[in-house]
């Protein structure tokens, strides 16, 4: 088995064929806002499930619900 150094931090070893160690991968994923990582950024406070667009207060699902219930 041959290991290479991570090309980013140059500290951790990575498997052959890989460029980045897990740590760097995770960091990058967080930075680029990958879907799985970083969920808590903008979550609808009402249903606590759906993502919000920038400066939305609630997700469209909850908004619809609220509109329907409103008189």
Nearer to Zn ion, 23 or 33 (CB): 23
Phi, psi (rounded to 5 degrees) for 52: -105, 150
Nearer Cβ to Zn ion, position 38 or 47?
47
The span from the CA of 52 to the CA of 44, in Å, is: 6
CB 31, min distance to Zn ion, A? 13
Cα–Cα distances (Å) from 71 to 32, 38, 46, 47, in that order, read 41, 36, 19, 21
1 to 40: interface string for Zn ion, x by CB under 5 A? -----x-xx--x--------x--x----------------
């Amino acid at each position: 088995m041959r290991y290479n150094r991570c090309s980013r931090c140059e500290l951790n070893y990575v498997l052959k064929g890989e460029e980045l160690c897990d740590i760097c991968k995770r960091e990058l994923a967080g930075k680029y806002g990958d879907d799985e990582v970083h969920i808590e950024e903008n979550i609808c406070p009402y249903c606590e499930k759906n993502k919000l667009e920038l400066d939305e207060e609630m997700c469209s699902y909850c908004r619809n619900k609220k509109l329907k219930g409103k008189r």
